[in-house]
Structure 1
Amino acid sequence: MKVYNQQVELSILKEKGVALYIKREDLIHPFISGNKFRKLTYNLKEARYSGFDTILTFGGAFSNHIAATAYAGKEHGFKTIGIIRGEELHDRWQENPTLLWAKKQGMEFKFITRQAYRHKESPEFLGQLKEEFGLFYALPEGGANALAVKGCEEILTAQDAIFDVICACVGTGGTIAGLINAAEAHQKLIGFPALKGDFLKKDICKFAPRGNWELNTSYHFGGYGKVTLELIEFMNAFKLETSIPLDPVYTGKMLYGIIDLVRKDHFKPNTNILAIHTGGLQGIAGMNLVLEKKNLPLIEL
């Protein structure tokens, strides 16, 4: 599929004299979504080159990374193992659209407690996993490592030099790190974290030493995986007006933040903004199950 920059036509943008385009990275692959495709590209090559036939990674119940890794593994001939946060899912994973999808692609699951998950990168825990599963190529949660950053550096093209501001969702920090490294000298990066707090700065700085960026922590809507009625209504209205679907964990919050900043005159007139659509639409089905139980409106695809 072809990635392109789609202009967003909203009255508030015209009123404020700001141009907003969305890079449709969600269209890069039918099943390996957006930045996950970028993050996996060089990691899969490295795993193959190093002689591994198994990829092991980590994620939560609705993880885009888990879904993408499962499909990429199947497509490229790797066995995949997912270490899933939440032992309560052990007997209920069939009710989860993301995990059901990953399982159909051949992924094997190991469900662990949230306490154990906090130590997932420790040498002791990784050693236990090697004893249980044998040799594997380990991918961190969200796929964020140096090779993932290298892949994300390829999101921006020479044609994107016309933009003044580049906006990106932030989960583990790998995507924005790649964008920071690839941006032109005159461009400013704004990251919109899906998690509370600004603790991600340290992780981003490990891969991106430049100072051309900032994190805006005002639009997490309560934290990772949390949504509100206001956010749902915004996403559905945005889809209706632009035909662009957003996900509730990342891109929905980013676009809400961008439009809100435009409304508050954060950007000067004639500013050209490029927002990166990182995909993640597979998670909507699972989120809608949660919203239905809470008697909240569903997110439209």
Structure 2
Amino acid sequence: MKLPEIEIPITEIPLNKNIRLFIKREDLIHPEISGNKYWKLFYNINHYLDLQTSNPLLITFGGAFSNHISAVAALGKSLGIKTLGIIRGEEISNKWQQNPTLSHAQKNGMDFRFVTRTEYRDKPSLTKTFEIAFPNALIIPEGGSNFLAVEGVKHMLDERTKSFDYLCTAVGTGGTVAGISKFSEKNQKILGFKVVDDSSLGKRISELSGKDQIPLLDAHFGGYGKITDENIRFINWFSNEFGIPLDPIYTGKMMQRIFELMDEGFFSQGSKILAFHTGGLQGIEGANEMLRKQGRTLIIE
């Protein structure tokens, strides 16, 4: 299978005469297989289909609002391949129809297995269980981050990205920042913005990239999936100001931290900064359902 090459516009965000910030719209690469997920799945699926032609099956892991779950379901539908999502949280097994991410994944043909949070944490054991049950399946790790994913991320870099001093991306499972680090220019500074409070990320990223530890800056604002009122204000201001929607879990938090760092004088004078928009906009609907129930301001979709 050959996925199409799609040109992604790099949009400049005017700031001041000394620092210029740009955003690379990976979110526009595909309507459903959005952003970095497209490239993280690229070599995984091509390699699998080169080897497996009969009864293919894609199995992967994620939470109830996972961008990765949504992307794998859409990929399976586009290729006519069955998909199975291993979903964290047995307690939602009887009410997943109320979840916009899972409902959409199901419409794209994905079946689900709901497991307890304790079972979910033991990924090696869980993976082994499904390897035995489905020996012909491609089992993709949570977030899609593995060595083939890292190779796919190199397509997020091109001739246009070589002129930037800083390359910035949100970090969840580490595959995207590992790929950017591995294939960037030697003079470029790579910054990963952690949206999870995970002390093991640095080691995992180094293993995937083959590079020394990459600077990781906290951008979780109280925890993974937590959305503060200030996050909402920033995302809505950014959308109104620049016409670019941001998701509340990854790119929105990264961009907010970048603006804070600029105010703090973190970046060198005259720097050109490139931030990667890694998609995830499908999650806004679910976030707004939660915010609506809490009587809070909604995120612009």
Give the structure-2-normalised TM-score.
0.94
Q: Does 1:205 align with 2:181?
A: no
Match for residue 292 of structure 2?
292
After TM superposition, the structure 1 stretch with the greater mean CA deviation from structure 2, 47-56 or 146-155, is: 47-56
Match of 2:113 among 102, 110, 115: 110
Specify every segment of 5 or more residues in structure 1 that has no aligned partner in the other structure, as ranges.
none
CA distance in 2, matches of 1:81, 1:286: 21
Q: Offset at 1:211?
A: 3.5
Code of the residue aligned with 2:118 in structure 1: it is: Q
CA distance in 2, matches of 1:92, 1:291: 18
CA distance in 1, matches of 2:168, 2:131: 39
- After superposition, the Cα gap between the structure-2 partners of 1:84 and 1:205, relative to the gap in structure 1 and judged at 3 Å, is same
Code of the residue aligned with 1:255 in structure 2: it is: M
Aligned partners of 1:284 and 1:299 also within 8 Å: yes
Q: Offset at 1:161?
A: 1.1
CA distance in 2, matches of 1:127, 1:42: 22
Match of 2:71 among 55, 68, 71: 68
Match for residue 30 of structure 1?
31
CA distance in 1, matches of 2:233, 2:128: 46
Match of 1:6 among 4, 8, 11: 11
Match for residue 260 of structure 1?
260
- After superposition, the Cα gap between the structure-2 partners of 1:121 and 1:212, relative to the gap in structure 1 and judged at 3 Å, is closer
After the TM superposition, list the runs of 4 or more consecutive aligned residues in structure 1 that deviate by more than 6 angstroms.
Answer: none
Match for residue 126 of structure 1?
127
- After superposition, the Cα gap between the structure-2 partners of 1:295 and 1:191, relative to the gap in structure 1 and judged at 3 Å, is same
Q: Offset at 1:129?
A: 2.4
Q: SS where residue 16 of structure 2 aligns?
A: helix
Matches within 5 A, 1:37-76: 37-51=38-52, 53-76=56-79
- After superposition, the Cα gap between the structure-2 partners of 1:278 and 1:94, relative to the gap in structure 1 and judged at 3 Å, is same
Aligned partners of 1:189 and 1:212 also within 8 Å: no
CA distances 1:174-225 after superposition (whole Å, capped 9, x unpaired): 00000001110110000001101442001101111223831012x2111111
Q: Offset at 1:281?
A: 0.2
Code of the residue aligned with 1:294 in structure 2: it is: Q
Code of the residue aligned with 1:56 in structure 2: it is: I
Q: SS where residue 2 of structure 1 aligns?
A: coil
Code of the residue aligned with 2:171 in structure 1: it is: V
CA distance in 2, matches of 1:189, 1:134: 38
CA distance in 1, matches of 2:119, 2:167: 36
Match for residue 166 of structure 1?
167
Match for residue 86 of structure 1?
89
Code of the residue aligned with 1:146 in structure 2: it is: F
Code of the residue aligned with 2:68 in structure 1: it is: H
Q: Offset at 1:77?
A: 2.1
Aligned partners of 2:202 and 2:214 also within 8 Å: no
CA distance in 2, matches of 1:198, 1:242: 34
Structural RMSD (CA): 1.4
Match for residue 96 of structure 1?
99
Matches within 5 A, 1:238-277: 238-277=238-277
Q: Offset at 1:154?
A: 1.5
CA distance in 1, matches of 2:83, 2:151: 22
Q: SS where residue 273 of structure 1 aligns?
A: strand
CA distance in 1, matches of 2:118, 2:233: 35
Matches within 5 A, 1:180-219: 180-211=181-212, 213-217=214-218, 219=219
Q: Offset at 1:153?
A: 1.4
Specify every segment of 5 or more residues in structure 2 that has no aligned partner in the other structure, as ranges.
1-5
CA distance in 2, matches of 1:197, 1:140: 17
Match for residue 20 of structure 1?
21
Q: Offset at 1:49?
A: 1.4
Aligned partners of 1:169 and 1:193 also within 8 Å: yes
Q: Offset at 1:128?
A: 2.9
Aligned partners of 1:55 and 1:136 also within 8 Å: yes
Aligned partners of 2:52 and 2:136 also within 8 Å: no
Q: Offset at 1:74?
A: 1.1
Aligned partners of 1:198 and 1:215 also within 8 Å: no
After TM superposition, the structure 1 stretch with the greater mean CA deviation from structure 2, 30-39 or 129-138, is: 129-138
Q: What is the number of equivalent residue pairs in this alignment?
A: 294
Aligned partners of 2:247 and 2:283 also within 8 Å: yes
Q: Percent identity?
A: 47
Aligned partners of 1:187 and 1:212 also within 8 Å: no
CA distances 1:127-150 after superposition (whole Å, capped 9, x unpaired): 432454553110000000111000
